[in-house]
Structure 1
Amino acid sequence: MPNLLSPVIAPVLLLIASNVFMTTAWYWHLKFATTSLWKVILISWVIALFEYCLAVPANRIGHQVYSAAQLKTMQEVITLVVFAIFSALYLKEPLGWNHLVGFTLIAGGAAFIFHKF
């Protein structure tokens, strides 16, 4: 069984968790359009604090084995996956074939960041 605290795996797990918080901070309020903007901002900042508490260590730990570009690419791909799930389950917005094609192209591009030429 892989060590979840290793610098190879821990950043991935921390980035997944951080993106759950950040996606929530950015988009939860779309279901509450009548809530005043200042309240939404304040609540979102509180939620985002947890994202930072996970993302910063993810990058610090991950930089032992990944380049900064690889960490950023990993974060972006994770963001897309988390957002797609959040959008479908929480916002009830269906994902179409065009989303799948777009996400696939982005993931394909991300693969080049990890390829050693």
Structure 2
Amino acid sequence: MSMLQAIPLSIQTILLLVASNIFMTLAWYGHLKNLATAPWYVAAFASWGIALAEYLLQVPANRIGFQQAGYSVAQLKIMQEVITLAVFMPFSVMYLDQPVKLDYLWAGFCMVGAVFFIFRNA
């Protein structure tokens, strides 16, 4: 049994979603710091290359989650959004030097509500 097979399918799904979101966030917002003075098309192509890594993780995450772990598409989408917010907040504060806002907390509470409603009858 390989090490990956020892990890429950639900955890594999979540870990792949987290990893894909790190790449996604870097692709979408990293150019604001790294390539701030580069022409937009340079930033777009660099972001596109990073986004490929995101897709290479996102697609198996959704396939494992839907086909093997038994998550619905709606559950996968809400997980994706919660993970996106959880990755984006520290990225924006630590990497892009954006101020911490109370709105992040309120957005998090809204996402907790979304998780509750999408998983309550599961």
Structure 2-normalised TM-score?
Answer: 0.88
Match status 1:46 vs 2:63: no
Look up the equivalent residue of 1:72 and give its one-letter code: K
Per residue, is there more helix in 1 or in 2? Answer: 2
Deviation at 1:36, TM superposition (A): 0.7
Per-residue CA distance 1:93-113 (angstroms, 9 max, x = gap): 122112211221122222210
Distance (whole Å) between structure 2 residues aligned to residue 105 and residue 26 of structure 1? 23
Q: CA separation in 2, counterparts of 1:58 and 1:102? A: 24
Select which of 68, 77, 81 maps to 2:82: 77
- Partner amino acid for 1:36? P
Amino acid at match of 1:83: F
Identity %: 52
RMSD: 1.3
Structure 2 residue runs of 5 or longer lacking an equivalent are: 1-5
1:11-44 deviations in whole A, cap 9, x for unaligned? Answer: 0000000000000000011123211111101100
Q: 1:60 aligns with which of 59, 63, 67?
A: 63
Q: Which runs of 4+ in 1 moved over 4 A?
A: none
- Unaligned 5+ runs, structure 1: none
Q: In structure 1, which of residues 95, 107, 111 is the aligned counterpart of residue 112 of structure 2?
A: 107
Alignment partners' CA distance in 2, 1:8 and 1:98: 30
